[in-house]
Amino acid sequence: MTVACAIEQFLPGHPICYLGDIARTPYGTKSSRTITSYSIENTQFLINQGAEIVVIACNSASSVASDQLRKKFNIPIIEVISPAVQQALKETRSGRIGIIGTRATIRSKVYEKQILCKEPDFKVFSKACPLLVPLVEEGWLNKRETKMILRRYLHDLKNKQIDTLVLGCTHYPLLKHLIQPRIGKKIKLIDSSVSTAQYLKSYLESKKLLPVEKDNATKIQKSTFFVTDLTQSVQQVAEKIFQRPLKLERI
């Protein structure tokens, strides 16, 4: 949802077809095989809905399933890792980069691989933070326990003299206000949601797929938001992120 919201802000004229696989989340604790199989189903659903470009708006799925999705589907598949890596490489001065993410993302080592492939002398330090997703989903965004758990997770990274930290999970931007003071005010945080939306915008520009300003008013189609499960807390979190009422449709 944080990625969809960032895309909406960067590309206001573009209709989004969103699918949140709420029934089967969290993905970050699952095996690569299961994440890949769910990602294939979800992509097929979006294509059936008429999607022409698919954004894998989840770091865990991007980490382990993007190669398979590109092999299987003949449309552009955008993931959230490469844009965040690009942004991190642009921001870092010292070449010492931290990554936080789910167990699946960290286990895949995808951030290390992509960074070291471009800058073999850089140092990458990773830390899986599996409890942050449930804490965010519970809406515990300012609780003392969340701060303590964050301090515990960030402890090792604090001694590594990083100057850039990638928030390698689309839930983590909601904890930015707690992460920044705990990791250090001078450390640049990379929000993969924003990087991905920026990347998508320049991709569409390069392919001349951006809607012409004038046409927006007539061409604008309503975005649709599908979920595989719908509870009160999902509705609340969605409206908190988008800052407006949102019609979620259960499939």
Which residues are tagged catalytic? 58, 169
How far apart, in whole angstroms, are the C-alpha atoms of residue 251 and residue 249?
6
15 contacts a copy of itself (rule: CB under 8 A): no
How far apart, in whole angstroms, are the C-alpha atoms of residue 234 and residue 187?
32
Binding a copy of itself by CB under 8 A: which of 9, 49, 142, 152? Answer: 152
DSSP class of residue 212 equals P
Binding a copy of itself by CB under 8 A: which of 55, 58, 78, 135? Answer: 135
How far apart, in whole angstroms, are the C-alpha atoms of residue 180 and residue 175?
9
Q: Which C-beta is closer to a copy of itself: that of 17 or that of 133?
A: 133
Count of other CB atoms within 10 angstroms of residue 158: 14
188 contacts a copy of itself (rule: CB under 8 A): no
How far apart, in whole angstroms, are the C-alpha atoms of residue 25 and residue 30?
9
Least CB distance to a copy of itself at residue 109 (A): 15
123 contacts a copy of itself (rule: CB under 8 A): no
Q: 135-156 burial string, b = 16+ CB within 10 Å, else e?
A: bbbeebeeeeebeebbeebbee
Q: Which stretch binds a copy of itself (CB under 8 A): 43-51, 142-150, 172-180, 235-243?
A: 142-150
The encoded tokens of residue 235 equal 């509705």
Q: Which C-beta is closer to a copy of itself: that of 63 or that of 114?
A: 63
Interacting residues with a copy of itself between 74 and 113 (CB under 8 A):
103
Least CB distance to a copy of itself at residue 92 (A): 30
Q: Which stretch binds a copy of itself (CB under 8 A): 86-94, 116-124, 141-149, 207-215?
A: 141-149
Binding a copy of itself by CB under 8 A: which of 12, 23, 50, 177? Answer: 23
| Whether 196 contacts 57, CB under 8 Å | yes
How far apart, in whole angstroms, are the C-alpha atoms of residue 30 and residue 187?
30
229 contacts a copy of itself (rule: CB under 8 A): yes
Least CB distance to a copy of itself at residue 157 (A): 18
Q: Determine which helix (DSSP H) or strand (DSSP E) holds 97, and give its type and residue range.
A: strand 96-101
Nearest to 19, CA basis, from 205, 248, 239, 188 = 248
Residues that bind a copy of itself (CB under 8 A): 22-24, 29-31, 33-34, 103, 130-131, 133-135, 137-138, 140, 144-145, 148-149, 152, 228-231, 233
